[in-house]
Amino acid sequence: MMNTLLIQKREEISETRVAKMVFPSTTNHYDTLFGGEALKWMDEVAYIAATRFARKQVVTISTEQVDFKRPIPSGILVELVARVVKVGRTSLKVEVDIFLEELYSDKREKAITGAFNFVAIDENKKPTPIFDEDE
């Protein structure tokens, strides 16, 4: 049985926030962020949160529904927020939200949300328990 306090503590310390600017090199011909670039950023921040939680090697095994709620224009600041929301024996689920912020106002809005699933692996790249027996 996993220790609930340990899980709660790891969830708290693993929340990851990354801020990025949307520059023209990351946009499409509509001058909005490429969907593939957004997915790449989301997978990266999810990986960081998963690793901070598990403190083991992890790999992405699947993504769940990703909702693009609104386009993200060039020249705007985005913040990616990743947090572990579900923990199994060898796997975990990380939800990621992308918020856009106007640089010169307090306006902040959720633009994209999605979930990424990871599995902890050992040195042979085989699934391994996230928590050791003594934890």
Task: Give the tens place of pLDDT for each residue, 83-115.
Answer: 999 999 999 999 999 999 988 889 999 999 999
The per-residue pLDDT for 31 is: 97
**Residue 14: CB atoms within 10 Å:** 20
- Residues of the chain scoring pLDDT < 70: 1-2, 133-135
Query: What pTM was computed for the model?
Result: 0.92
Q: How far apart are the first and last CA of the chain?
A: 10
Return the SS3 of 73: strand
Report the distance separating Cα 112 and Cα 106, nearest Å: 19
The per-residue pLDDT for 135 is: 59
The per-residue pLDDT for 134 is: 63
Place of tokens 């949307």: 22
